[in-house]
Structure formats: structure tokens, C-alpha cells
A and B are shown apart, each in its own frame.
Chain A
Amino acid sequence: MDRLVFLLATGLARGLVIALFALSLVIIWRAARIVNFAQAAMAVVAVYVAFAVTSLTGSYWVGLVAALAAGALLGLVVERGLIRLVPSRTPLPGMIVAIGLVMVLQSVMGILFGPRHKPMSAPFDERPFVVGSIPVLSPYDLFVLLVALVVVVALALLFNRTALGLQLRASAVAPEVSRLLGVRVPRMVTLGWMLSSAVAALAALLLVPTELGLNAHSADLLFVHAFTVAVLGGLDSPPGALVGGVTVGVLISLVTGYLGAGIVPLAVLALLTLVLLVRPGGIFAVKEARTA
């Protein structure tokens, strides 16, 4: 029982980080109607920047801001400098270019920083609070929880209650009609990329201290998990990403605890397959056709 509570709590905390990353995938889907396979690699670049800034200034918080800025900047550069050049009638060229980008980014980071994982320390204590005799959430976990909730609420407000959010949504689902209404669609797409990239950077930054550390390939697994979450919750749905994230986080935690860490990739694969084939719409999908 103790074990279960601990695993659930850990799963919740871990799940929120995955949810944040999945949220970044949702943003870019809502803004540009694509799945950005390079999201994780871009996020890791931003985290390296944060690492460098933190080492220079000694402050985690400055590093966090730097990560957000780096993420946004990278999103801008990639969208304006690369994605714009890619034919977009089918999603295929976009995916191939994203994969090329992953290879370029990961290899450059490998060349510059080497294969060893750089340790990163968290700003708060990572040892869990003990309630009764059960270790529950640590201060760091609570910090992650808070950040994730703030971001989710902020994004929900942005997309559903602001003029900017309306333009972002419209530009993605009906770009030509939106242009005919005076909406600067290309600018909206760029903004969507920047926002998405910044959120992904934040998620990766929150995740890294709890893993082995920072490395060019840190986020590969995160991408697969986040993709599964996004698919489970529906690529169109921020609350779906949240619920899906917690679900997957708890699932991973339980599987790790009871069956061993080695099974996790298989569990994730099984879940992904199940969702894609049985419930293509995801839990909260609005009206999205996933079938060919």
C-alpha cells in the first residue's frame, strides 16, 4: 500500500512533466497542424543553454528564463529558416526535414559536449516529504506540479479567451479563410512554433534533474512518451494532454515499480498501439480524423 502511494505520487509528478511536453506538441498542432518530431532535440538545445547560463550566473532561475528564451528563439529560427522552405501539401517532407534536424542538433551537441551526461541539480530538494511513514512528493515535485498547472491554465486562457489565441486556432484550421479576414497567418504559425518550443524547453528543463543528467539524447524517450500522451489525449486538446500525461506518468511509475524499468518501453508501445487502433479519437479529441 505504501509502495502504491509512493508510486502514484511519483507518477503524478513525472506525468505532469510529460504532460507539459505533450502540451507543446498540442500547441504546435493547434497552430500549424504538424507533429514536430524535432521537438525534443530542440528542447535539449535550450536546456544546454540554460545549463551554461546557470553555470555562469549561479542562478537556476536565470537559467530557466534563458531556457524559455532559447526555446522561443529556436522555434522562430527553425520555422522561419527551415520549415517555410518545405513543401507542405503532404506531411511527409516536413517529417523528413524534422528528422534531419534531429540528427543535426543531436550530432552537434554530441560534438560540442561529448557523450557523458552532465549532472544538473534541481532548485529544490528532491527528497520526498514523508507523510506518516510514506514518502510522498518532494519539494521539487511540488514545484513541478505548480509550474505545470500554471502553464496549463495560462495556455488555456490564451487559446480560448484572447484575440491572439483565436487567431492562432483559426490560422491552423482554416488558413485561407483566416487570411481573407485579415489575419496575419504566417505570423501566427511562427508564434505557435515559438510558444510550443518554449514550453517544450521548460518541460525538458524540469525533467533533466530527475534523470541521469543532460545529454544529447536525453529527450528521445521523452518525445516518445509525450507523443503517446498527445495521441491518448487528442492532439487538439490541452486538457487531454494533462489527463493523458498524468495517466501515462502513473502507468510508467507503476510498471517500473511492479514489473521493472525494462518493461516500460514495451508498456508505452502497447498503450500507443491500443489507443491508435481502438480509440483513434483520443479521450478528448474534438473532431480529428486520425485515419487515412
Chain B
Amino acid sequence: MTMLAVEGLTVGYGGSPVIDGLALDVPQGSVVALLGANGAGKTTLLRTLSGLVTPRSGRVLLDGADLAGVRVEDRVRRGLAQVPEGRSVVSELTVEENLQLGALWRHRSRGERRAALDEMYELFEPLARRRTSIGHQLSGGERQMLALARALVARPRVLLLDEPSLGLAPRVVAQLLAVLRQTADRTGLTVLLAEQNVTSALSIADRGVVLGLGAVVADAPAADIAADPALRHAYLGF
């Protein structure tokens, strides 16, 4: 059953649209890799899904419900979380505080929150060691780990990730994506993973969706996309 559906989406910052008539279905529990060159519209799509950008036309449906007019924070409270591009960790706060921030709306009582945070610390061991460190003291890998943990601590239904591998060493990327995949398998989380690192993304994904010029140009099982040289040359740059 479809967890996240996009119909006829057009998004433009003025001038020619960045996303033009895009349609997409993300089944529940699947990990979908969103691929495409720079400027193909991946970030814009994710920001539109989260509500940071208002589309010119089209619909976004979360578990069948139209998200039109639903504010960013309310979409999160309906289960649509995002790990945005770049260093999204709040560098003025500690690791613990960052996690608490993510857990607040979901886990009202202190006890619940403690349990949820401990769960994350178990999953992401390096974070447990750096509990009281301030955001800007963390390494790139630790920050991305924190950003991911922070999004997961509220037990979202859908998780959008925008280029989590950016600027990270391959080993760290592999660890991160492995945890992501395990969590998705364990909890039935639906994942939409936007990546320029095609191989890594396809390695944990069930399906791949390729964006080109603001629309979907390929939507197929991950293995098929990895094996298609024409696609790779045309849209993925190798």
C-alpha cells in the first residue's frame, strides 16, 4: 500500500519550474533511492514534501491524506520526518539536547523520552560517548549520525533523507546506511533517500527513482537501475 504519493507536482522558484509534473508512489516499508544529477530537483522535491516549499500545482498524499495547507511542523507530527541536506545538527546544543528536541512532540513524559533516547544511544554507539558534547564539537560523521538519530527518535512513518553521505568517508557512509536499512526492516519505516552517491544508495534500496529535468525518467527495482548503462550515462553521470 502506498505510504507517500505525489501527483502532478509542479514547483518553481519563478521562471521555468524546477519540478514539472512529477508523479511518484512510495510503498509502505520500502526504501526508495531518489537519484539524479545536481539541479535535477531532488532537494526541491524533499523540501516540498516536508512543506518548506509550496508547489505551484499538484498534490502530496501521506497515507492517503492530502497534505495541502498542512504546516511543516504538523507534517512532522503526522509522521513525515526529514534529515535535511548539510549539517543540520543544532551546533549550539549538546547531543543530548538535540535528541531531546527531536523526541519532544512524540514522547510527552520524561520517562518515555529517556527510554527513546537510550534506544538511540544503543543504536548509535559513538553518540552515547559524546552525550554532553556541544554540536560544533562533533565530527562530520558524528553529526550526520546525530541528525539521523534525531529524526528516528520520534518513530516517524516516513523518513526523507537529503544527501546524507555528503562530505563523509565511505566507511562512515556505509555504517550509516546499514543502520538505516536495519531500522527500516525492523520497524517498517518507509524511506526516501536522495543521493548523488548512486552505488551506496542503490546498495540498500529496494527501488530507484531517477529524476531528470524535474520529472521522473526512470522508476525501477534498484538492481535494474544499477545494471542499466544507458541510464547511468544519461542521468547519473557515469
Partner-B contacts on A (CB < 8 A) = 163, 166-167, 169-170, 173-174, 176-185, 286-287
Contacts and interface: CB of A to CB of B under 8 A. Distances in A.
A181 B89 CA distance: 11
A181 to B, nearest CB: 5
B150 interface: yes
A177 B88 CA distance: 7
B52 A174 contact: no
A177 B73 CA distance: 10
Interface in B70-128: 71-73, 76-77, 81-82, 84, 88, 90, 92-93, 97, 100-102, 104-106
Nearest to A178: B101
B84 A180 contact: yes
Interface of B: 50, 52, 71-73, 76-77, 81-82, 84, 88, 90, 92-93, 97, 100-102, 104-106, 136, 150-151, 154
Top 6 A-B residue pairs of the complex, sorted by shortest distance between their CB atoms: A182-B105, A182-B76, A179-B72, A174-B90, A181-B102, A179-B73
Most chain A beta-carbon neighbours within 10 Å: one of B72, B93, B97, B102: B72
Most chain B beta-carbon neighbours within 10 Å: one of A163, A178, A185: A163
A163 B117 CA distance: 14
A163 to B, nearest CB: 6
Given A181-B76, A183-B73, A167 B92 contact: no
A169 B105 contact: no
Contacts of A163: 100, 104
21 contacts: A163-B100, A166-B104, A170-B101, A173-B90, A174-B92, A176-B52, A177-B88, A178-B90, A179-B52, A179-B76, A180-B50, A180-B82, A180-B88, A181-B102, A182-B73, A182-B76, A182-B102, A183-B73, A183-B101, A183-B104, A183-B105
B93 A182 contact: no
A169 B91 CA distance: 12
Contacts of B105: 181-183
Most chain A beta-carbon neighbours within 10 Å: one of B84, B104, B106, B136: B104
A185 B74 CA distance: 11
Given A181-B101, A183-B104, A183-B105, A170 B76 contact: no
Contacts of B97: 166
A232 to B, nearest CB: 21
A85 B90 CA distance: 27
